[in-house]
Amino acid sequence: MGRRTSSGTSSGKPSGTSSRTSPGAAPREPSIAIVGSGFSGIGLAIGLKKAGFTDITIYEKAGGLGGVWRDNTYPGAACDAPSHLYSYSFEPKPDWTRRFAEQPEILSYLRHCADAYDLGPHFRFGTEVTQAEFQPAAGNWRLHTAAGERRDHDLLVTACGQLSNPAVPLIPGLEAFPGTVFHSARWDHDHDLRGKRVAVIGNGASAVQFVPLIAPDAADLTVFQMEAHWVSRKPDRVYPRWRKALNRRVPAVQKLSRLGIFLWFELLLNPALVTPRGRRALSAHIRALCSFTLRTVRDPALRRRLTPEYEPGCKRILTSSDYYEALNRPNVHVIDHPVTEVTPHGLRTADGEHFPADTVILATGFRSQDFVAPMRVIGLHGLELNAAWKDGARAYLGLAVNGFPNFFLMYGPNTNVGSGSIVHMLESQIAYIVQAARLLGRGNRSLDVRADVLDQFDSDAQRRLSTSVWNRGGCDSWYLDAERRNTNNWPGYMTGYRRRTRRLNPADYHVEESA
């Protein structure tokens, strides 16, 4: 059980902002809970161990590590960020087999990292945390598990990610469909698609990867397009043996490759997403790239239906070298009208047409604003995190929320990157949370980000986002909540985020010292 290492009662007022050990309070090692075992959770556990912390517990409701790379096993699942950048800087992998790694290799890499840093004893698999509540008198968090356990920890970090809870559309008749239904993130590998009439609802990042691979097997495949996407050719390639050997013998080669990819995203694509002048340049560039790819569609009418009306970059720009080719197949059909009903024998659309199907695959994305759901997080004065976020999710630097002491999120609100690698952002967050753990270890009892600091950060972030392509590009996306507030994306450069998180400023927090 996590140790309760702080005692005494709260005075109800912050006692200062010093990061030094409080008088009379001996340095201690805080007990740290991490919820989630994907790139975020594994990376943080490694960062904490490297900093000398040992009282770390990683809670994972599934039977193994990996997060989205454990769950998304659909055919063709792969990353759309280059492998050398989509990996920890402190644990390079010189022998990536291809430029854009596929799911099995990424999952294998995460398992390697866990083994290399001896994280095994810290995992608690098959343990779902259903509720966490801050205990002011003890200055720690009490975690409740689905099995009825209660465990106390000084520091709580949720590493659940933005793409962990599949979004299932509320379509009448879907639950009663007698055929097979599954979400792409919960692929049913026991269901043979050969000779089946398959309906795919959605045409986003997952669909463009698996549709080309299942199309040859299906007797009939109907893609219900929710909205056209900009799709460019994927510049993928297999790395030859000599390149992997060179990476291993001369590590600087791989580092230079990683740096080059980073600079491409940071200096060329990111400015184009967040500045009006850059948006015009991006629009022309992406339109040219995607128009070239779109020429592979032979039917002119279909090409027009596949051409988006919104500004490039407003939604995630997809990459695929075979999606459009798959749409040329005689057994593949693209439907623009939304699905309004699932019948016992197929799907009906808004124009009244019925499409026979015996298999329905939901490629409908994720509930990206559910940063910690379904777990309940209860802070000071019984305030639940979802209630604190009733007007939209927000956190200081995407990490800390006022009223929730000793609590941090990873890949939280406004930390997604429209261009680049989330792993770079995660490493910034890891360094910041390690500093928070050190502050707690120096005799400080609790850290609670100040309300004015959070308000100022959020106001500035939303102001900067207001001119971005995500907010002004004329589309609906998972970056925006129901009120069209951008809750997900970082409004600037990855280097800017690294600079903001390089040093935890105790003055940004109410720091309560131990009694």
What is the reported pLDDT for 369? 66
- Identify residue 182 by its one-letter amino acid code: F
Q: Residue 346 region, left (φ>0) first, then alpha (ψ -120 to 50), else beta?
A: left
Residues 223 and 335 both lie in one domain: yes
| Structure confidence by residue, pLDDT tens digits, 54-105 | 999 999 999 999 999 999 999 999 999 999 999 999 999 999 999 999 999 9
Give the span between the Cα atoms of 7 and 459, in whole angstroms.
Answer: 37
Q: Are residues 331 and 448 in the same domain?
A: no
DSSP 121: G
Out of 362, 394, 418, a domain closes at 362
Residue 256 lies in a domain: no
| Total residues found in the chain within this entry | 515
In a domain, 231, yes or no: yes
Q: Is the CB of residue 464 less than 8 Å from the CB of residue 491?
A: yes
CA distances for 475 relative to 10, 228, 478, angstroms? 48, 10, 10
State the Cα–Cα distance between residues 318 and 196, nearest whole angstrom.
27
Q: Does residue 233 belong to any structural domain of this protein?
A: yes
Average pLDDT, the chain: 90
217: nearest Cα among 198, 236, 200: 198
Instruction: Classify residue 259: in a domain, yes or no.
Output: no
User: Using an 8 Å Cβ cutoff, are 378 and 384 in contact?
Assistant: yes
Q: pTM for this one?
A: 0.91
Whether 9 shows a pLDDT value over 80: the answer reads no
| Total number of domains in the chain | 2
Do residue 301 and residue 198 come from a single domain? yes
Say yes or no: 433 and 476 in one domain: yes
**CATH code of the domain covering residue 195:** 3.50.50.60
- Does 161 lie in the same domain as 286? no
Query: Where a domain ends, among 340, 362, 384?
Result: 362
Assess whether 123 and 87 both reside in one domain. Answer: yes
**Cα(130)–Cα(435) distance, integer angstroms:** 27
Reduced 3-state DSSP string for 157-203 = EECCCCCCCECCCCCCCCCCCCCEEEEHHHCCCCCCCCCCEEEEECC
Last residue of a domain, one of 329, 362, 395: 362
Rounded Cα gap, residues 10 and 7, in angstroms: 9
Do 98 and 196 sit in the same domain of this protein? no
Q: Are residues 297 and 348 in the same domain?
A: yes
* Residues 357 and 423 both lie in one domain: no
pLDDT attached to residue 368 = 64
Question: Tokens 């939209």 belong to which residue?
Answer: 392
Tell me how far apart the alpha carbons of residues 476 and 488 are, in angstroms, rounded to a whole number.
13
**378 shares a domain with 335:** no
Q: Among candidates 266, 320, 304, 308, which has minimal Cα distance to 476?
A: 308
Q: Is residue 14 part of a domain?
A: no
pLDDT tens by residue, 435-490: 999 999 998 899 999 999 999 999 999 999 998 888 888 888 888 888 889 999 99
CB 373 within 8 A of CB 367: yes
CB 239 within 8 A of CB 99: yes
Which residue carries 């089946």 as its tokens? 196
Q: Are residues 371 and 283 both part of a single domain?
A: no
**Longest CA span, the chain:** 78
The helix (H) or strand (E) run that includes residue 153 is: strand 150-153
Q: Which domain holds residue 62?
A: 32-165+367-513
Chain segment 181-235, per-residue pLDDT in tens: 999 999 999 999 999 999 999 999 999 999 999 999 999 999 999 999 999 999 9
CA distance 11 to 6: 14
